[in-house]
């Protein structure tokens, strides 16, 4: 398989983990390039459920190499815990996982600052995962971050941590929060550094050599297009570039090495956290939550749910260059009598066909819907496109056409084999 960038086309949780696991079979390397342990990617191997936060979902294949690229922010304690979880489940990690030496660290003061900033925002909060992601990327941009290469250099780590902790403790005190103990943080993170040291390498060189030899690389996106710091519904976004360009900057693999972009979307829409969501719908939320679905993989929060929105997914095609669309969770809509797809946003007498960047304008928009008859029959046992109900095929064709991309994969259940390739 050619070098493929996989992105989320909505607000995250599109089912990227499942599709990565499926596409990994034909890839040699799987690379995470942005975000941190705010991500939660669910993969089922038979009845066993794995939720991956930092380690690429390809790790569950015995013969694939996985890379955590320079664009990711790593909480070392969380990564150590995830590796332990995988090893306890019988998954080999040593020799298969490579961690960028230039990836930035998430440290305890980032988590505390994330929490404090959210508290201060009150009802205007973003609804972050409180994993310290925003403050860690903030330090990276402000050039005061610590990197993996610092973590594994004990004297340098000690000096840098001492300096950074002193400054951040002042900020925490100003927030009215308890300052952190240098000795405790240092001991815990140095231990994690020793554990992670064997995984740390120049992943840029590793990826360059692999692509030179013709290896097929799959770039595992995290979050979704509308959580992108530049292209999302700012400020209700995460702090990294979650769109296709982030795969290049977050890995050091140049754009002319990339062959295609796969966009993953749910057959409906979900969003966790605050921020605009034009097609949000309480009935769909009740239906899906009633089925025990749509609870956050990282924080367990119930996800907000709504109709599919082709203004959103068309915009995602525009900014990511999506060639192939993978539509997941089609089976979630099996019982509905009528389905809706948003085809435009009405604002006064105008109909917008792109997502406006001004959130006040977006809030004033009314979705315009096209209606589709429901297929009202289970799809989770179907494995061929032709065997899907005709009404389901019509709905999926419309989704792809309205999203300006070619339908390539349909997912009708969380398992590997519940996948239809077109
Ligand atoms: P990600 O963050 O994009 O990897 O998505 P999450 O793992 O956070 O959330 C997607 C959820 O949908 C997970 O619970 C998956 O197991 C589940 N899932 C993915 N595809 C399908 C599907 O086609 N049908 C059903 N029923 N569940 C799916
Ligand atoms: P995956 O990779 C869904 C959301 C949070 C919040 C906003 C900012 O599983 O799709 P942050 O902690 O990043 O500062 O939070 O972004 N968010 C996600 N929502 N899926 C994710 O990842 C998310 N990662 C962050 O809920 O609204
Ligand atoms: Mg998720």
Name the phi and psi angles at 299, rounded to 5.
Answer: -110, -10
For residue 220, what are the domain limits? Answer: 4-103+199-262
- Distance from the CA of 22 to the center of ligand 3, in angstroms? 16
**Total count of domains within the chain:** 3
Does 276 sit in the ligand 2 pocket, CB within 6 Å? no
Whether residue 109 is found in the same domain as residue 167: yes
Top mutation candidate among 114, 238, 299 for ligand 2, by most atoms within 8 Å of CB: 238
Q: Looking at ligand 2, which residue's alpha carbon is closest to its atom 23?
A: 223
Whether residue 171 is found in the same domain as residue 35: no
Does 13 sit in the ligand 2 pocket, CB within 6 Å? yes
Cα separation, 343 vs 310, in Å, equals 6
Does 228 sit in the ligand 1 pocket, CB within 6 Å? no
Going by their DSSP bridges, the two strands 338-347 and 366-373 should be labelled as antiparallel
Whether residue 92 is found in the same domain as residue 109: no
- Distance from the CA of 12 to the center of ligand 2, in angstroms? 7
Does 220 sit in the ligand 1 pocket, CB within 6 Å? no
- Where does a domain end: 262, 290, 314? 262
Whether residue 237 is found in the same domain as residue 164: no
Whether residue 108 is found in the same domain as residue 177: yes
Whether residue 308 is found in the same domain as residue 183: no
**327, 326, 332, 313: which is closest to 375 by C-alpha?**
332
pTM: 0.97
Catalytic residue among 21, 28, 41, 114: 41
Cα separation, 18 vs 231, in Å, equals 24
Whether residue 137 is found in the same domain as residue 275: no
Top mutation candidate among 125, 129, 226, 236 for ligand 2, by most atoms within 8 Å of CB: 129
For the domain that residue 376 is a member of, what is the CATH number? Answer: 3.90.170.10
Catalytic residue among 13, 228, 331, 334: 13
Whether residue 321 is found in the same domain as residue 410: yes
For the domain that residue 75 is a member of, what is the CATH number? Answer: 3.40.440.10
- Where does a domain end: 262, 279, 301? 262
Contact in structure between 270 and 313 (CB atoms under 8 Å): no
- Distance from the CA of 390 to the center of ligand 3, in angstroms? 30
- Distance from the CA of 293 to the center of ligand 1, in angstroms? 9
Does 133 sit in the ligand 2 pocket, CB within 6 Å? yes
Residue that has been written with the tokens 């599709």 in this structure? 19
Whether residue 113 is found in the same domain as residue 247: no
CB atoms within 10 A of CB 116: 18
- Distance from the CA of 56 to the center of ligand 1, in angstroms? 15
The 3-state DSSP class for residue 153 equals coil
Top mutation candidate among 14, 39, 227 for ligand 2, by most atoms within 8 Å of CB: 227
For the domain that residue 115 is a member of, what is the CATH number? Answer: 1.10.300.10
Whether residue 181 is found in the same domain as residue 247: no
Whether residue 378 is found in the same domain as residue 241: no
Which residues, including other chains, have CB under 8 Å from residue 411's CB and lie 6 or more apart? 15, 18, 19, 326, 327, 328, 329, 330, 418, 419, 420
Could you read off the pLDDT tens digit of each residue along the chain, which spans 422 residues? 689 999 999 999 999 999 999 999 999 999 999 999 999 999 999 999 999 999 999 999 999 999 999 999 999 999 999 999 999 999 999 999 999 999 999 999 999 999 999 999 999 999 999 999 999 999 999 999 999 999 999 999 999 999 999 999 999 999 999 999 999 999 999 999 999 999 999 999 999 999 999 999 999 999 999 999 999 999 999 999 999 999 999 999 999 999 999 999 999 999 999 999 999 999 999 999 999 999 987 788 899 999 999 999 999 999 999 999 999 999 999 999 999 999 999 999 999 989 999 999 999 999 999 999 999 999 999 999 999 999 999 999 999 999 999 999 999 999 999 999 99
- Where does a domain end: 237, 262, 287? 262
334 is catalytic: no
Contacts 24+ apart (CB under 8 A), 151-160: 151/76, 151/105, 151/189, 151/192, 151/193, 151/196, 152/101, 152/193, 152/196, 152/197, 152/200, 154/190, 154/193, 157/186, 157/189, 157/190, 157/193, 158/186, 158/190
The 3-state DSSP class for residue 1 equals coil
Whether residue 270 is found in the same domain as residue 376: yes
């Amino acid at each position: 398989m050619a070098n493929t960038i996989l992105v989320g086309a909505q607000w995250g949780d599109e089912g990227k983990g499942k599709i990565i696991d499926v596409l990994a079979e034909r890839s040699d390397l799987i690379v995470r390039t942005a975000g941190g342990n705010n991500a939660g990617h669910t993969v089922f191997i038979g009845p066993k459920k794995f939720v991956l936060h930092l380690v690429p979902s390809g790790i569950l294949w015995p013969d694939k190499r996985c890379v955590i690229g320079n664009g990711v922010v790593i909480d070392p304690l969380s990564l150590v815990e995830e590796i332990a979880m995988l090893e306890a489940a019988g998954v080999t990690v040593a020799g298969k996982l490579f961690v960028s030496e230039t990836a930035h660290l998430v440290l305890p003061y980032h988590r505390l600052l994330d929490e404090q900033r959210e508290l201060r925002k009150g009802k205007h909060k973003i609804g972050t995962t409180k994993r310290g992601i925003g403050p860690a990327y903030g330090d990276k941009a402000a050039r005061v971050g610590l990197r993996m290469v610092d973590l594994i250099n004990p004297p340098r780590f000690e000096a840098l941590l001492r300096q950074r902790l002193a400054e951040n403790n002042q900020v925490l005190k100003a927030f009215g929060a308890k300052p952190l103990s240098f000795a405790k943080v240092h001991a815990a993170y140095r231990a994690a550094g020793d554990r992670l040291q064997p995984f740390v390498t120049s992943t840029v060189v590793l990826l360059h050599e692999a692509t030179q030899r013709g290896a097929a690389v799959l770039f595992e996106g995290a979050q979704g297009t509308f959580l992108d710091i530049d292209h999302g519904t700012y400020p209700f976004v995460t702090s990294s570039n979650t769109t296709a360009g982030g795969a290049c900057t977050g890995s050091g693999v140049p754009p002319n090495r990339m062959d295609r972009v796969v966009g993953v979307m749910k057959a409906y829409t979900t969003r966790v956290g605050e921020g605009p969501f034009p097609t949000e719908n309480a009935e769909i939320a009740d239906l899906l939550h009633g089925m025990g679905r749509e609870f956050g993989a990282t924080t367990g929060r119930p996800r907000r749910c709504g109709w599919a929105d082709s203004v959103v997914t068309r915009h995602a095609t525009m900014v990511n260059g999506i060639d192939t669309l993978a539509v997941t969770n089609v089976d979630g809509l099996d019982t509905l009598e009528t389905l809706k797809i948003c085809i435009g946003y009405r604002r006064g007498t105008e109909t917008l066909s792109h997502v406006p960047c001004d959130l006040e304008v977006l809030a004033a928009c009314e979705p315009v819907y096209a209606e589709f008859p429901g297929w009202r029959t289970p799809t989770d046992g179907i494995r061929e496109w032709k065997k899907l109900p005709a009404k389901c095929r019509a709905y999926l064709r419309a989704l792809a056409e309205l999203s300006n991309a070619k339908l390539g994969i349909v997912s009708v259940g969380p398992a590997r084999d519940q996948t239809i390739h077109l």
